[in-house]
């Protein structure tokens, strides 16, 4: 999809049938490359939010390789769909997706978190092309998304707004102010995607502040709510298709709740004690890459 | 809160009956003073007629921040965000990201205390044209600390990129609104609402964003003032003339960026220098002037007329302005004491 992205905007799929095998394979390949990019960036720092990036890679691939309308050569294109990264520390995953999308050069990823880089550890719109907002202070993204969706609709734009947030951000009251606001204003052009990796800075989400039942919460706030395995590409694409099919200038906002696994795709990290800020030893990076490749090729050959 | 006019208490101090909290609730204008109704709302309508990018937002305080005037004129350009100030200002940033020019109103306490993080990171860091309109700045309500934004400028002055305007009257507000819309980056307007006094028309004055203006000259004392305290400064200057004290008044409605050049030129004389502000003595106009004086190396005493560093009482505004030193009578007494 990235090759065509430079010439013409991509169009969101409208069907709600199961996605074709070819489509699932193409987006899965993008997710695989995003994971490798994330490992490359993680190795530069020697540690970091690699676990989150690997867990969210399928969600990011579904957005950038399948759903989002954008022009890689012109990230400011007025007609683009907006993708708002609320969780600033997921920038490592977002940069990987921007590289996959052709918005950031792949070779620039090595500057991640270095002095004078356009790719700081916590994502900011003022630093990086394709980054719509400065996230990081959690619970902001969905409030900005509400204003953006209202502003675009008021100006007659058909662009859609996607907000990526984490289950930890469901702790923040502002997220629910925005959830009410989106429903009140009937923002059918807004889709929230929640990465439910069940992990927060101080531990597992259910030990920090219980957010479940998450599905019922969003439903009761009036949102079109779907919950899927966020590491199952066919399920993810089906959910995005359903969201796209009911998207409208005036209508229900949509949320896709994605259960994901921290470190997904690298068994060494999947099995490691879960940590917000994962430590990976110098000799382990190559092992991570080999496991990622073996797992992907193993699945692909089945 | 009611918008009913309840101006009472014109009797001289000391003999007046106990005033009610509702006194001056809709206006702090003196009885009989020339006023303009809802100057902010009307100015925003006028600006919006010329600039189709302007939109209005509020957090369940449209009627109490004069935003309802705009909502009536442009219902399709008005967005009610509910009693949710974090959403209000996050969404305002979102509007600005799409190229619109939002004016978002609530009370100053909620903007400064409750939604600071959302203003700072969503609007100020990306330098978006988001215009914050804060009602009840300083001591303009008798409801007590929950509503009295006595430290709003202290909170906001530390925010990079933010322009801060403390208007005196209806003239200032009418002229400031289109300039705020036209200026790059976020702004904060200390709103005066309802029937707002019209004062500066007598001084050949025009509002210029970022500029201080000398309203009147005087040989003995120089007042540096902002907000409604410029009105009091002018009244105090007239009262002091009866004591043969000649007072100059410099109005500096833009607190940040501060017009240090104009102010320092007026302060760097042998006149008594007094700052007057409707704000805590911590972090507002006085400290803005003091830091400019020190930075310029002037060994000059500056006397503050400001609210004390305290949570203030509830009560009627005339009582409270007298109690905390913002009344004309208290200003005159302070200046005479300083002059010995």
Kindly report the nearest CA distance between residue B38 and chain A, in angstroms: 26
Q: Which of B24, B21, B19 is nearest to B6 (CA)?
A: B24
Confidence at residue A6, expressed as pLDDT on a 0 to 100 scale: 39
| Residue B33 φ then ψ, to 5° | -70, 145
Confidence at residue A2, expressed as pLDDT on a 0 to 100 scale: 36
Alpha helices in chain B (DSSP H): 39-50, 67-73, 85-97, 108-109, 116-119, 152-157, 170-182, 228-241, 260-267, 285-295, 317-323, 328-339
Please report which confidence band the pLDDT of residue B154 belongs to, taking 50, 70 and 90 as the band edges: very high
**Is 80 exceeded by the pLDDT of residue A277?**
no
Beta-carbon contacts below 8 Å between A and B: 102
Q: Which of B307, B318, B254 is nearest to B277 (CA)?
A: B307
pLDDT in tens, A52-87: 999 999 999 999 999 999 999 999 999 999 999 999
Look at A145 and B102 and tell me if their CB atoms are within 8 Å: no
Beta-bridge mates of residue A258: A195, A228
CA dist A239 and A256 (Å) reads 7
Where do we find the tokens 């206006």?
Answer: B27
Confidence at residue A47, expressed as pLDDT on a 0 to 100 scale: 74
Cβ atoms < 10 Å from Cβ of B127:
15
Q: What Rg value do the Cα atoms of chain A yield, rounded?
A: 18
What the block records as the tokens of A250 is: 């005036």
* DSSP assignment of B204-223: T----TT--EEEE--SSEEE
Closest residue to B90, CB basis, from A147, A151, A152? A147
CA dist A227 and A11 (Å) reads 24
pLDDT in tens, A157-194: 999 999 999 999 999 999 999 999 999 999 999 999 99
Confidence at residue B252, expressed as pLDDT on a 0 to 100 scale: 98
More confident site: B32 or B50: B50
Q: Which strand (E) or helix (H) includes residue B225?
A: strand B221-225
CA dist B221 and B246 (Å) reads 6
What the block records as the tokens of A273 is: 């004690």
What the block records as the tokens of B50 is: 């010329």
Please compute the mean of the pLDDT values over residues A10-28 and round it to a whole number.
Answer: 77
Look at B126 and A140 and tell me if their CB atoms are within 8 Å: no
Exposed, middle or buried by CB within 10 Å (0-12, 13-18, 19+), for B211?
A: middle
- Pairing status of strand A278-279 against strand A254-259: unpaired
Q: Could you give the 3-state DSSP secondary structure of residue A21?
A: helix
Cβ atoms < 10 Å from Cβ of B6:
17
Closest residue to B87, CB basis, from A134, A137, A143? A143
Q: Which strand (E) or helix (H) includes residue B45?
A: helix B39-50
- Pairing status of strand B254-256 against strand B163-165: antiparallel
Q: Measured over all CA atoms, what is the biggest interatomic distance in chain B, rounded to whole angstroms?
A: 60
B 289-328 near A (Cβ less than 8 A): none
Look at B121 and A134 and tell me if their CB atoms are within 8 Å: yes
Please report which confidence band the pLDDT of residue B39 belongs to, taking 50, 70 and 90 as the band edges: very high
Q: Which of A108, A101, A55 is nearest to A81 (CA)?
A: A101
**Does the model's pTM come out above 0.90?**
yes
Helix/strand/coil percent split, chain A, to 5: 50, 15, 40
Look at A144 and B77 and tell me if their CB atoms are within 8 Å: no
Cβ atoms < 10 Å from Cβ of A21:
9
């Amino acid at each position: 999809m990235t090759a065509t992205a430079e010439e013409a905007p991509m169009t969101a799929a409208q069907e709600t049938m199961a996605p074709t095998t070819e489509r699932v394979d193409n987006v899965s390949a993008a997710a695989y490359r995003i994971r490798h990019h994330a490992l490359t960036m993680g190795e530069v720092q020697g540690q970091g939010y690699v676990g989150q990036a690997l867990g969210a890679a399928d969600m990011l691939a579904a957005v950038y390789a399948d759903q989002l309308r954008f022009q890689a050569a012109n990230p400011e294109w007025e007609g683009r769909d907006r993708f708002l990264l609320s969780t600033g520390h997921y920038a490592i995953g977002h940069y990987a997706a921007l590289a996959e999308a052709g918005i950031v050069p792949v070779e620039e990823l090595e500057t991640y978190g270095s002095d004078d880089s356009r790719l700081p550890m916590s994502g900011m719109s003022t630093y990086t092309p394709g980054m719509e907002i400065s996230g990081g202070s959690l619970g902001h993204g969905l409030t900005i998304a509400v204003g953006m969706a209202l502003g675009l609709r008021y100006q007659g734009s058909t662009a859609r707004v996607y907000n990526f947030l984490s289950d930890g951000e469901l702790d923040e009251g502002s997220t629910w102010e925005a959830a009410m606001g989106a429903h009140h204003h009937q923002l059918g052009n807004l889709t929230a995607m929640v990465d439910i990796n069940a992990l927060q800075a101080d531990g597992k989400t259910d030990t920090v502040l219980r957010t479940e039942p998450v599905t019922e919460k969003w439903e009761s706030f009036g949102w079109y709510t779907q919950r899927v395995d966020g590491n199952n590409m066919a399920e993810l694409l089906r959910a995005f298709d359903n969201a796209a099919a009911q998207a409208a200038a005036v209508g229900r906002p949509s949320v896709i709740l994605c259960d994901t696994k921290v470190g997904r795709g690298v068994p060494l990290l999947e099995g490691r004690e879960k940590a917000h800020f994962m430590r990976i030893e110098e000799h382990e990076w190559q092992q991570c890459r080999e496991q990622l490749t073996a797992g992907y090729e193993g699945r692909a050959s089945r | 809160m009611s918008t009913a006019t309840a101006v009472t208490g014109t009797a001289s101090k000391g003999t007046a009956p106990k005033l009610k909290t509702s006194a001056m609730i809709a206006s702090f204008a003196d009885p009989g003073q020339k006023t303009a109704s809802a100057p902010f709302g009307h100015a925003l309508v006028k600006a919006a007629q010329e600039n189709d990018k302007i939109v209005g937002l509020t957090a369940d305080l449209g009627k109490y921040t004069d935003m309802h005037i705009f909502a009536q004129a442009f219902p399709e350009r008005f967005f009610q965000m509910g009693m949710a100030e974090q959403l209000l200002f996050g969404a305002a940033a979102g509007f600005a990201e799409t190229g619109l020019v939002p004016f978002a109103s609530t009370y100053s306490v909620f903007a400064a205390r409750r939604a600071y993080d959302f203003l700072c990171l969503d609007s100020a860091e990306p330098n978006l044209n988001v215009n914050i309109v804060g009602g009840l700045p300083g001591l303009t309500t008798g409801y007590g600390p929950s509503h009295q934004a006595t430290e709003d400028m202290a909170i906001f002055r530390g925010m990079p990129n933010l322009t801060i305007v403390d208007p005196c009257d209806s003239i200032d507000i009418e002229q400031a609104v289109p300039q705020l819309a036209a200026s790059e980056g976020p702004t904060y307007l200390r709103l005066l609402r309802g029937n707002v006094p019209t004062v500066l028309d007598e001084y050949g004055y025009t509002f210029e964003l970022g500029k201080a203006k000398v309203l009147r000259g005087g040989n003995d004392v120089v007042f540096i003032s902002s907000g409604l305290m410029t009105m009091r400064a002018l009244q105090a200057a007239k009262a002091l003339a009866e004591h043969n004290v000649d007072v100059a008044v410099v109005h500096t409605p833009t607190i940040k960026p501060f017009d240090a050049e104009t102010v320092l030129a007026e302060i760097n004389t042998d006149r008594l220098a007094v700052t007057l502000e409707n704000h805590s003595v911590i972090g507002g106009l006085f400290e803005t002037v003091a830091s400019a004086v020190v930075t310029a190396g002037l060994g000059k005493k500056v006397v503050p007329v400001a609210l004390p560093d305290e949570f203030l009482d509830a009560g009627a505004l005339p009582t409270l302005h007298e109690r905390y030193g913002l009344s004309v009578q208290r200003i005159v007494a302070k200046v005479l004491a300083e002059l010995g």
